[in-house]
Amino acid sequence: MKKFKLLSLLLIFTVSATFSQVKISGVVKDEQNETVPFANIVFVGSTTGTVSDENGKFYLESDKTYTKVKVSFIGFEPKTVTVKSRDFNLIITLKEAASKLKEVFIYSGKIKKKGNPAIAILKKIWAKKRQNGIYLFDQYEYEKYEKLEFDLNNVDSAMKKSKLFKGMEFVFEGIDTSRITGKAFLPIFINESVYKSYGTNKNGKSFREDLIANKNSGFDSNQNVIAFIKDLYVEYNIYDSYIKIFDKSFVSPISKASGISTYNYVLTDSAYIDNKWCYNILYYPRRKNELTFKGDFWVNDTTFAVKEINMQATRSANINWVKDIYIEQEFDVLNDSVFLLKRDYMLSDFSFKKKEKSKGVYGRRTTMYKDYDFNKVKEAKFYNKEIDVYDVSIYNKNDNYWNAGRQEKLNKNEKGIYKLLDTLTTVPKFKRIYNLVSILGSGYIEFNKFDYGDIFSTIGKNDVEGWRLRVGGRTFLGGSEPWRLQGYTAYGFDDQKFKYGLSGKWMLNPKSRLIIGGGNRRDVEQIGVSLTTTNDVLGRSFASSTLFSSGDNTKLTNINLSNLFISIEPRKNLEFRLGASYRTLESASPKTFNLDYWVDEAATIKKSSSIQSEIDFSVKYTPNRKTIGYGVERNEVTDTYSTLFLNYSRGIKGIFNSNFNYQKIQFYYRQPILIGGFGRMFTTFEVGKTFGEVPLGLLSVVPGNQSYFTIENTYSLLDYYEFVTDSYASIHVEHNFNGRFFSRVPLLRKLNLREIVSIKGVWGEISDKNSALNASNIKYVAPTKGYYEYSVGVGNIFKVFRIDFSWRGNYKNTPGANNFAIKGAFGFHF
């Protein structure tokens, strides 16, 4: 969903004087007029330089005065060119070097590994491979300053004159130029934070980070946009084999495992940096369409610790909606074993297209570190204590504090952002644009203290209700309110019945997130589409209202569900919940489907509806889950975290005419796994058992999928109610190779397709007593031999679609069995 919010921004946002002394751009070519990719361009007399891209193009600037640049690349004679302070569209032609030199270093366009001095230096870096210096001490602390920014880029005269900005022309007074790309951009958002960070490496690693101050402008009240920007910040270590960015694993240029097989390395220069003699090594990828960088790094000649590095993702990398990624890191090298990160800068250019002139949005993050201290010992309990993020003083620091607390001063245009949005919010046209972004991102239309929606659920269709219309809404007091009410009503044109749902939540204690809530829902639902179930009042399964489905879709149930609950989060991402529920279940289409069960042992009297009172207790743990907002409901920054869920429920006979006594225990575990350059794997494991005799509506049905779409945690080749169990164990494994193999096939390389494979399996059984209780028209069959299916798929088709080909592994002779299916899915992924 967060990717969708980014695309919404791009749909809407498709020069002031600068202070740099020298700005140049151009292209590097050879004598045959062919471009020279990955050439090294550096200002003469400095260490300021860049590397040309895959098309030989480059941009370089400096705030100092230089009149010459030196251009070099292995196999060509170095060339020095005189430049002006503003010299654009340069064409620099390199002359091939002597053939003997070319034979030593060049082979089929790639640099030989044997005898390469750059690789010799790289091996010394590995020999002294280290972690960040803070991990070499028993304890450490430092102060961190973080600045996150969003900017519209490629601002030109056509954009200024477009009807979109009519009446808002004043925003262009803040135009700046990127020192990385040379493009004009307009700042629209800035978020600043100051943190105090503490850590220990003794007796297991512990870390605590306290937010000391925060200030933002731009989309400050839109939690969805802020959540996406927060996700730009990722922890990475250049000494790791892979660097994770946007859930993709890029091969690190310092990687011992894959570096030499992935990159070409060239020793290009040596110079003093901060009074330390350093070597400069240029690197670029050996192959296109892989998740790689180009750039250079400076490494000290005695410690072989990296002093500076810049990494720019290649344009051909198989990543969507991102045209450019640029990273800079600077280190303070103290001695042979300690190097400390001083500055970290990351720029991402989000755009629909990767063409040079296509418009987009910059996401920039600058992080700076200072005041390292390794001598203050903290007790273990110190790291378990969390700062009160609700302290209003964090968000109300005055200008004097920020002038002293910033480790990097804001420029004129950054300062102007804090005033820009105050002015824009008074412009009616901007309000309309802003509201459109919010609607597309959240699915709700904002009114005064009330949101109408979810608009994406307005129209539905199934075999019982026919066409269905739904209207609903929720209270909204800014996004961090301690309570919320929400509800809906719906009408089916075939069954001519109204349905509704209503729920409320109230957070009693923000620090421990002590929440009470409850609600009631009367609706038509397709039950049995999830093994692990909850008593979420407003939750309704995908299969209950699908416009595109196959087979018999009349096995729907009328449900009347009421619940009360209390939950608490004693530690971050650890939630305990105690609840009570009351429900009635009966068939929504008695002529084609029923939930009947025998009331007496002689099987002479049966009942078509069930009434059940239940209490439940659950524990949910989501390590590394990041959220934003402090209200009763929060937005997730990312969904790539582990989930462990344990639920115990007990049905109590006799309370409010409840029919059954039983106990049920369920466990759910979902784990995403990044496997270096081989993509990402998702594994889901579920296990559960019901103790006692219960009818069909309370059993565990193996979730089928009769839609034409690939649905997570369902079985693509099973129909609804094909397998019914009271004990089960299920595992789903899906792996996305992110184009690892397609990128090496010439005809497929440019399509940026991605390979997907999966296998799913489930074992289950049904007791004789539960089978004897059954009087429905569903014959109980349990996968006692273990059912499995497997699939192969192709993803990233037109960047938004995937197609899966699924085969049934066994139970192929079951009457009406689907042994093969083709299903698809839409989604926005990087």
Per-residue confidence at 132, pLDDT binned at 50, 70, 90?
A: low
> How high is the pLDDT of residue 9?
46
Is the separation of the CB atoms in 665 and 637 below 8 Å?
A: no
Per-residue confidence at 541, pLDDT binned at 50, 70, 90?
A: low
**pLDDT, tens digit, for every residue of 693-735?**
999 999 999 999 988 889 889 999 999 999 999 999 999 999 9
> How high is the pLDDT of residue 231?
62
Residue 103 has pLDDT above 70, yes or no: no
Nearest to 57 by CA among 23, 87, 92: 92
Is the separation of the CB atoms in 297 and 323 below 8 Å?
A: no
Q: Compare 672 and 432 and report the one with higher pLDDT.
A: 672
Q: Tell me the C-alpha distance between 222 and 187, whole Å.
A: 17
The stretch 193-217 carries a mean pLDDT of 87
Q: Compare 549 and 240 and report the one with higher pLDDT.
A: 240
**pLDDT, tens digit, for every residue of 210-223?**
989 988 775 555 55
Q: Tell me the C-alpha distance between 538 and 522, whole Å.
A: 10
Q: Tell me the C-alpha distance between 32 and 114, whole Å.
A: 29
CA 719 to chain centre: 32
Residue 17 has pLDDT above 50, yes or no: no
Q: Tell me the C-alpha distance between 610 and 595, whole Å.
A: 8
Read off the amino acid at residue 228: F
> How high is the pLDDT of residue 16?
31
Structure tokens at 62: 């400096």
The stretch 39-52 carries a mean pLDDT of 87
Per-residue confidence at 808, pLDDT binned at 50, 70, 90?
A: very high
> How high is the pLDDT of residue 104?
33
Residue 418 has pLDDT above 80, yes or no: no
Residue 789 has pLDDT above 70, yes or no: yes
> How high is the pLDDT of residue 233?
61
Is the separation of the CB atoms in 647 and 618 below 8 Å?
A: yes
Is the separation of the CB atoms in 251 and 259 below 8 Å?
A: yes
The stretch 299-310 carries a mean pLDDT of 88
Residue 643 has pLDDT above 90, yes or no: yes
Nearest to 804 by CA among 820, 791, 817, 790: 791
Residues 6+ apart with CB under 8 A from 776: 593, 594, 595, 596, 597, 695, 696
SS (H, E, C) 737-781: CCCCCHHHCHHHHCCCCEEEEEEEEEEEECCHHHHHHECCCCCCC
Residues 6+ apart with CB under 8 A from 34: none
Is the separation of the CB atoms in 756 and 795 below 8 Å?
A: yes
The stretch 8-35 carries a mean pLDDT of 66
* Integer-rounded Cα radius of gyration of the chain: 30
Residue 5 has pLDDT above 70, yes or no: no
Arithmetic mean of pLDDT over the chain:
85
> How high is the pLDDT of residue 551?
64
> How high is the pLDDT of residue 111?
66
Q: Compare 111 and 670 and report the one with higher pLDDT.
A: 670
**pLDDT, tens digit, for every residue of 269-294?**
888 888 888 999 999 998 888 889 99
Nearest to 676 by CA among 233, 257, 120, 198: 257
> How high is the pLDDT of residue 811?
95
Per-residue confidence at 619, pLDDT binned at 50, 70, 90?
A: very high
> How high is the pLDDT of residue 137?
86
Q: Which has the minimum average pLDDT: 103-117, 203-217, 290-304, 475-489?
A: 103-117
Q: What's the whole-model pTM score?
A: 0.79
Q: Which has the minimum average pLDDT: 228-237, 259-268, 320-329, 438-447?
A: 228-237
Percentage of the chain modeled with pLDDT above 90: 40
> How high is the pLDDT of residue 107?
31
Nearest to 354 by CA among 397, 325, 393: 325
Per-residue confidence at 642, pLDDT binned at 50, 70, 90?
A: very high
Q: Which has the minimum average pLDDT: 217-226, 365-374, 739-748?
A: 217-226
Is the separation of the CB atoms in 349 and 153 below 8 Å?
A: yes
Q: What is the DSSP letter of 98?
A: -
Per-residue confidence at 563, pLDDT binned at 50, 70, 90?
A: very high
The stretch 21-25 carries a mean pLDDT of 84
Q: What SS3 class is residue 118?
A: helix
Q: Is 346 exposed, middle or buried (0-12, 13-18, 19+ CB in 10 A)?
A: buried
